A = this chain, B = another copy of it.
């Protein structure tokens, strides 16, 4: 990640609904955190994802990758670092890192999600200038 990339943090406390009987956050539930962290990123850059959609642009997920280093437990406070890893003509890659505030800021999880840029008709479309300004 280059120095000049904008980074936005999202804070959260683990609750029971997110955990499983192994005592840790269920591996599929991290993606709910990434959705919220991503919206928080866009919002911080000036436009919520709801507003992106209102302008006729949708960003469906086309790929996800997640590496689980250490599990998060009930009641722990975590923070998610979010940034843009890559922007192409019609796709955006978000990067995420989850840190555990309750455990000396230990890095817990690394992930990325790739999104296509799609118009109202569901067709892949070039990222419009107003969105490019937010994600660049």
A interface list, Cβ under 8 A from B? 15-17, 19-24, 26-32, 35-36, 39, 48-50, 58, 60-68, 71, 73-75, 113
Contacts and interface: CB of A to CB of B under 8 A. Distances in A.
Contact of A50 (B36, B60, B75): B75
Nearest to A51: B75
Which DSSP category, helix, strand, loop or mixed, fits chain A's interface? mixed
Given A50-B75, A65-B66, 17 more contacts: A15-B36, A16-B20, A17-B20, A17-B28, A19-B20, A21-B24, A22-B58, A28-B29, A28-B30, A28-B31, A28-B35, A31-B31, A50-B74, A62-B68, A63-B66, A64-B68, A65-B65
Nearest to A26: B17
